[in-house]
């Protein structure tokens, strides 16, 4: 069994939709500032707050959209959702897209395995893997228009932040310098 298949298998064994729904219902009762005090809180970026859910055989990361993301409007969220669904359909051994995406009840959330910082061995292979991911996304008309944030679990590296995934035609909102730097980080010149 490949590392990717093993990771996905363990994720779906750990994934319990009712447990996640209960957790999200609890999160929904709190303002963003109050969520930071929750024991499961891991951290946050511009668009999402990340929480750890204990599960068996692996822990899960539940990334809940912040107001900065949801206030983009229904049309923008709809395009992002379509981009996520397209990324989820791609067959690429290096690409592990969001394993579960939840929309509804006023919340948007991405559920992924909770990864660790990269090992030294993974640090050596990640640039080539990210190049393959960027190529697969580009061939599908998608771009991850930000710096890739990568974690590792069971020896399999994967991207954890998909908030800036968009269709190539929609990516003009980012500055060319940011896109150039992101492309450079992904190994694309």
- Residue 11's pLDDT band (cuts 50, 70, 90): very high
60-81: average pLDDT: 91
- Residue 189's pLDDT band (cuts 50, 70, 90): very low
pLDDT digits (tens, 9 = 90+) for 52-67: 999 999 999 999 999 8
pLDDT digits (tens, 9 = 90+) for 100-152: 999 876 789 999 999 999 998 888 888 888 888 999 999 999 999 888 889 99
53 contacts: CB under 8 Å, gap ≥ 6? 19, 20, 23, 40, 59, 60, 61, 62, 114
- Residue 3's pLDDT band (cuts 50, 70, 90): confident
Domain containing residue 67: CATH number? 3.30.200.20
pLDDT digits (tens, 9 = 90+) for 32-52: 899 999 999 999 999 999 999
Number of structural domains the chain divides into: 1
- Domain holding 143, by residue range, is 3-185
**Given this model, what pLDDT does residue 86 score?**
93
**Given this model, what pLDDT does residue 115 score?**
92
């Amino acid at each position: 069994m490949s590392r990717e298949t093993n990771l996905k298998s363990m994720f779906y064994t750990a994934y319990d939709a009712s447990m996640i729904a209960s957790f999200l219902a609890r999160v929904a009762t709190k303002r963003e500032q109050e969520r930071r005090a929750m024991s499961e809180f891991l951290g946050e970026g511009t668009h999402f707050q990340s929480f750890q859910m204990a599960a068996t055989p692996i822990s899960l990361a539940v990334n809940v959209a912040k107001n900065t993301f949801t206030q983009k409007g229904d049309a923008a969220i709809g395009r992002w959702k379509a981009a996520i669904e397209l990324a989820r359909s791609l067959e690429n051994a290096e690409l592990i897209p969001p394993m579960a995406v939840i929309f509804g009840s006023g919340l948007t959330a991405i559920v992924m395995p909770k990864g660790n910082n990269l090992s030294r061995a993974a640090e050596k292979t990640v640039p080539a893997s990210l190049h393959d991911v960027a190529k697969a996304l580009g061939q599908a008309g998608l771009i991850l228009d930000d710096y890739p944030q990568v974690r590792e679990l069971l020896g399999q590296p994967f991207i954890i932040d998909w908030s800036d995934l968009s269709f190539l035609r929609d990516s003009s909102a980012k500055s060319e310098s940011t896109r150039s730097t992101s492309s450079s980080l992904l190994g694309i010149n």
